[in-house]
A and B are shown apart, each in its own frame.
Chain A
């Protein structure tokens, strides 16, 4: 079998992440991958708050958690607190509650205990509310835990750079000067440092689509009619490690969104503001993330604000998909089509999540996407969620998201109407107190961070 040579170009952690992950997922690519970078970030340019998917991804590529935490200086991200005007609630993991007599937990809570919050039944969110670390022992089956990390992007880049060096992946620090192509196929790229790179497949991870733009592919203006994030400010503040938090909070009030995350020694605040762009070309997706022998990944395939879901998750999903779709001859348009369709679905999903937040922040001035209108209507009239394929978060997680953002379910479903009330009430109370009791005995977040790997 011919092992294809792959060149990856980018300007942040994306290119490094793609190179490291593909090398680990497909060991035969060793020696066949190279990277060119416009600039490697050395200054902090913001923080990433990832979800459990990052841990699953690390497992797949064999990345040790303690090493990752120590090298990146990550803190834990156990839940997200949403604030909207005077209302606040926690967006918990999809592990909340339990199934009872065929009834979904949120339906049960809606019917029998509307005074309780959904997050009180999720260990991760309860640990977040108490600012705790992680349990050191293996968890009982009924106590599942999901979490991600909060880390500074530059630290992540530095860590990935170390890994590329360990994997002996050549990294050229130079922007692209020229792209040689023929009928849309990239033959090679010339870097400013005069190096010419030839490869079978080129992966473009650059925010400005340095390679891809030269193939003539344009972003498709899907969200032209919606409000766009047109400004974002990042503010850093040093803090005492004892003040580090294992959650983030996102306030969507007064026509802006403010996101606070706590790293180990600093607090990062990002402020997003919006305006309506009639002919905007930003926040758009491309229909052709993979064109000829050039593949766009991350920001090169979809320009979005990524307020809730970090671009890392899109990249990670694209990498996993790509690792299944290779090897691919340049003639196989159908393999490319699968990649393009799935990228579009994931990008739409990420955009839908931010779309709801912006809708709330603008008091409804920002219209909801059609998918969101359907989701919210189905949820409010039945408590159910669209049964969708390839979504970035599960249906159960979507329900947690809508509840935490304050969307109300009006009617109970049939399954909850026929549930045994007294038994259900006992089980609900038992679950809530068990989680709380367990969480209270876990050491604080700071203690956990100081003792990683010991």
Chain B
């Protein structure tokens, strides 16, 4: 066995148990211990996911049918953003592509040309996952790359507390679970964490510690004083209220994110209930007003009391410091507008597993880990700010602030380049690629002034015909898919093999 031998995870919940399950699977020669206390609740609102979770589940050997059933999960094709650009507007950010590339030129350039000529419909009519989601239909994507059915991927809406429990059972033979509350944390002379003392006096020693203690950040902040990079001047929302309600209609295959005058509200349809939440900026909306707005908007009977949360957007200055890595809410917080909370846990775990030390000298690994995670956080941060900033709304002080605030230079460059000629970021290391940027930029009302030169090579007649054919092909294909609820029951009863997972939002093999 190589150093570090003994790994201690502090905190259960989704982050703790995802980490435990992944480490148990990938580091079988290490002793993994997880300390959690039933007295400390979990935040438990990370219920909407993105397709990457399928990859994680596949890697740790989770059966998707069992997962669907145990987590009361539904399928998810994207997020329906309502009232973001203007009151009454809406668009779906899909887990999939728009149209087809022609000679390596992305579809949105051809769409932009058609739009300028006045011969095109909404770009969202040219995306199968959008059209299928609107029709409340779903089926597994195809692995035949020539098929239209290969142009999307899917994720889930889940009961996060059930997922944590499932993971706990999945790895309980490999992970030593200790029930207890941490009273004291001791460091060695080098500043590394040496041991934890529980309330019952038990001393837990470890070589490497993983902080999954949530907002409290018991190890990474309270003990190691890592520091916090505050992004709340861009992402103003700092409060949330969550509550489950009874479902009043069959579950939809998408999350709903409706903007209100000082933030937004989510609706996450599960098999047995609906998860609801309101996110707001306390500077622009009081807790009472938020609670009353939220209460009056709920469609089903409440199944629990309101769960009030406080947070601040930002991230730790270092996710890995000394012999401690922070995963989940202890490492930072970005509101779940694009369902990235569980993804950030997953990204941290995957990077940690890749770079996990095999000797006592791991400064280089820590620095690379921090660089990569910073990149993930920063890219997601920019993408979230885009939703708030690119808006026509000026019906409240909140939206006036968002519309007029200074945004990060990197985001400004993306927006201006897209406006100039439809150019989209080409980065490979980061979550949201061209189709996502296109969805949100256009959805938020930013239309390119120009398009790629080679889009001119397609005559207007040919372009009209191709767009018409594509639209009708998408419509026909979406119509042929089963209703979402039928798909859930069919896959559960027939145990249909699910498609291989990829680390992508946009298709089974992309």
- Do A389 and B428 touch across chains, with their CB atoms under 8 A apart? yes
State the total of A-B contacts with C-beta under 8 angstroms. 108
Q: Which of B355, B358, B456 is close to A412, meaning CB atoms less than 8 Å apart? A: B358
* B310 within 8 Å of A (CB atoms): no
Cα separation A227 to B92 with both chains bound (whole Å): 55
| CB nearest to A380 among chain B residues | B364
Which of A26, A332, A412 has most B Cβ within 10 Å? A332
For the complex, give the distance between the alpha carbons of A298 and B479 in Å.
52
- A245 within 8 A of partner (CB): no
CA separation between A26 and B452, bound complex, in Å? 9
Tell me the residues in window 264-281 of chain A with beta carbons closer than 8 Å to chain B beta carbons.
none
- The answer to whether A377 has its CB under 8 Å from any CB of chain B is yes
Contacts A29-B453, A386-B368: A381 and B359 contacting too (C-beta < 8 A)? yes
Q: Please judge, given known A-B contacts A27-B457, A338-B423, A378-B368, whether A413 and B358 are in contact too, CB under 8 Å.
A: yes
Task: Kindly identify, within residues 127 to 151 of chain B, every residue whose CB is under 8 Å from any CB belonging to chain A.
Answer: none
Residues of B within 8 A of A415 (CB): 26
Residue pair B423, A325 in contact (C-beta under 8 Å): yes
Complex Cα gap A230–B451 (Å): 45
Are B367 and A374 in contact, with the CB atoms below 8 A?
yes
**Cα distance A108–B173 when bound, in Å?**
29
Cα A387 to Cα B374 with chains together (Å): 12
Contact between B453 and A414 (Cβ–Cβ < 8 Å)? no
Asked whether, in the complex, the Cβ of B420 is within 8 Å of the Cβ of A328, the reply is yes
Within A379-400, the residues touching B (CB, 8 Å) are 381-382, 384, 386-390
Q: Which of B354, B375, B453 has the most CB of A within 10 A?
A: B453
> B450 is contacted by which of A28, A327, A382 (Cβ under 8 Å)?
A327
B46 at the interface (CB under 8 A from A): no
Minimal beta-carbon separation of A420 from chain B (angstroms)? 12
Interface string of B116-135 (1 = CB under 8 A from A): 00000000000000000000
Query: How far is the CB of A235 from the nearest CB of chain B, in Å?
Result: 41
Contact of B429 among A27, A29, A389, A410 (CB under 8 A): A389
Q: When chains A and B are docked, how far (Å) is the Cα of A1 from the Cα of B371? A: 42
Which residues of B lie under 8 Å from residue A382 when comparing CB positions? 355, 357-358, 362, 364-365
Residues of B within 8 A of A242 (CB): none
A196 at interface (Cβ–Cβ under 8 A)? no
Docked-complex contact B416 and A334, CB < 8 angstroms: yes
Docked-complex contact A414 and B358, CB < 8 angstroms: yes
| Alpha-carbon gap, A377 to B371, bound state (A) | 15
CB distance from A179 to the nearest CB of B (A): 26
B391-435 vs A: 1/0 string, CB under 8 Å? 000000000000000000000110011001101001111000000
Q: Is the CB of A411 within 8 A of B358?
A: yes
| Nearest CB in chain B: distance from A387 CB, A | 5
In the complex, the chain A residue whose C-beta lies closest to that of B425 is A338
In the complex, residue of chain A having the shortest beta-carbon distance to the beta carbon of B362: A381
Determine if A418 and B420 form an interchain contact, defined as CB atoms under 8 angstroms apart: no
- Residue in A closest to B354 when the chains form the complex, CB atoms: A384
A387 contacts across to B, CB distance below 8 A:
368, 371-372, 429
Q: Residue B493 at the A interface, CB < 8 A? A: no
Q: Are B412 and A334 in contact (CB under 8 A)?
A: yes
User: Which residues on the A side are within 8 Å of B457 (C-beta)?
Assistant: 27-28
Check: A326 CB closer than 8 A to any chain B CB: yes
Q: Which of A329, A337, A377, A414 contacts B26 (CB 8 A)?
A: A414
The A-contacting residues of B in range 332-379, CB under 8 angstroms, are 353-359, 361-365, 367-368, 371-372, 375
Could you tell me the distance in whole angstroms from the C-beta of A30 to the nearest C-beta in chain B? 11
Q: Are A417 and B453 in contact (CB under 8 A)?
A: no
A382 to B26, CA, bound (A): 16
Closest-CB distance, B242 to chain A (whole angstroms): 35
Interface residue? B227 (CB, 8 A): no
Residues B413 and A337 in contact, CB atoms below 8 Å apart: yes
Residues of A near B413 (CB, < 8 A) are 334, 337-338
- Which residues of chain B come closer than 8 Å to A412, judged between CB atoms? 358
Residue B300 interfacial (CB < 8 Å)? no
B499 at the interface (CB under 8 A from A): no
Q: Is the CB of A378 within 8 A of B417?
A: no
Chain A hits for B452, CB < 8 A: 324
Cα separation A44 to B421 with both chains bound (whole Å): 41
Closest partner residue, chain A, to B116 (CB atom): A1
Rounded to whole Å, the gap between the CB of B457 and the closest CB of chain A is 7
Query: CB-CB < 8 A to B356: which residues of A?
Result: 413-414
**Smallest distance from the beta carbon of B165 to chain A beta carbons, Å?**
27
* Assembled-state Cα–Cα distance A377/B368 (Å): 10
A337 and B104 CA atoms in complex are apart in Å by: 23
**Contact mask for chain B residues 8-48; partner A; CB cutoff 8 A; 1 contact, 0 none:** 00000000000000000011110000000000000000000
| Measured CA separation A328–B417 after assembly (Å) | 9
B112 to chain A, nearest CB (A): 10
B247-260 CB contact bits vs A (8 Å, 1 = yes)?
00000000000000
Q: Which of B195-242 touch A at CB < 8 Å?
A: none
Take A384-B368, A418-B28 as given contacts and tell me if A326 and B453 are in contact as well, using a CB distance cutoff of 8 Å: yes
Which of A27, A335, A382, A389 has the most chain B CB atoms closer than 10 A to its own CB? A382
Bound CA span A326–B362, Å: 45
A 303-337 contacts with B by CB, 8 A: 324-329, 332-335, 337
CB atoms of A338 and B417 under 8 A apart: yes
B386 → chain A closest CB, angstroms = 14
Q: Is A425 an interface residue (CB 8 A)?
A: no
Q: Which of A408-452 contact B (CB under 8 A)?
A: 410-415, 417-418
The residue from B359, B368, B375, B456 contacting A410, defined by CB atoms under 8 A apart: B359
Known: A328-B421, A417-B29. A1 touches B427 (CB 8 A): no
Chain A residues with Cβ below 8 Å from B420 are 328-329, 332, 334-335
Q: Once the chains are docked, how many angstroms separate the CA of A337 from the CA of B413?
A: 8
A67 within 8 A of B: no
Query: How many angstroms between the C-alpha atoms of A243 and B453 in the bound complex?
Result: 47
* Distance of A250 from chain B, by nearest CB (Å): 27
**Does A63 reach chain B (CB closer than 8 Å)?**
no
Q: Is the CB of A1 within 8 A of B450?
A: yes
In the complex, the chain B residue whose C-beta lies closest to that of A341 is: B413
- In the complex, which residue of chain B has the Cβ closest to the Cβ of A376? B364
B454 at the interface (CB under 8 A from A): yes
Q: Which residues of B contact A239 (CB under 8 A)?
A: none
The answer for the CA separation of A386 and B371 in the assembled complex, in Å, is 9
User: In whole Å, how far is B414's beta carbon from the nearest beta carbon of chain A?
Assistant: 8
Residue of A1, A337, A413 touching B453 (CB-CB under 8 A) = A1
Minimal beta-carbon separation of A61 from chain B (angstroms): 12
Chain B residues whose C-beta falls within 8 Å of the C-beta of A413 in the assembled complex: 354, 356, 358
Chain B's nearest CB lies how many Å from the CB of A174?
29
> Contact at A326–B421, with CB atoms within 8 Å?
yes
Chain A residues lying within 8 Å of B353, measured Cβ to Cβ, are: 414
B190 interface residue per 8 A CB criterion? no
Which chain B positions have C-beta within 8 A of A326?
421, 453
Bound-complex Cα distance A306 to B450 (A): 37
Residue of A at shortest CB range from B365?
A382
- A389 contacts B453, C-beta separation under 8 Å: no
Q: Is the CB of B453 within 8 A of A3?
A: yes
Q: What distance in Å separates the Cβ of A110 from its nearest Cβ neighbour in chain B?
A: 11
Q: Which residues of B contact A325 (CB under 8 A)?
A: 417, 421, 423
Given contacts A335-B417, A382-B364, contact A411 B359 (CB under 8 A): yes
Query: Which B residues from 54 to 88 make CB contacts under 8 A with A?
Result: none
For residue B292, CB closer than 8 A to chain A, the reply is no
A137 vs B353: C-alpha distance in the bound complex, in angstroms? Answer: 41
Interface: B496 (CB within 8 A): no
Of chain B, the residue at the smallest CB distance from A2 is B450
Could you say which residues of chain B place their CB within 8 Å of the CB of A28? 453-454, 456-457
B296 at the interface (CB under 8 A from A): no
Q: 5 other contacts beyond A60-B104, A384-B355, with CB at 8 A cut-off?
A: A1-B451, A1-B456, A381-B359, A386-B368, A410-B359
Q: Can you offer 17 A-B residue contacts whose CB atoms are under 8 A? A: A1-B453, A3-B453, A26-B454, A325-B417, A327-B421, A327-B450, A327-B453, A334-B413, A335-B417, A337-B413, A374-B364, A374-B367, A378-B365, A378-B368, A381-B357, A382-B365, A414-B353
Nearest first, the 10 A-B pairs at minimum CB distance are: A334-B416, A378-B364, A377-B364, A332-B420, A334-B413, A411-B358, A26-B453, A411-B359, A334-B417, A28-B453
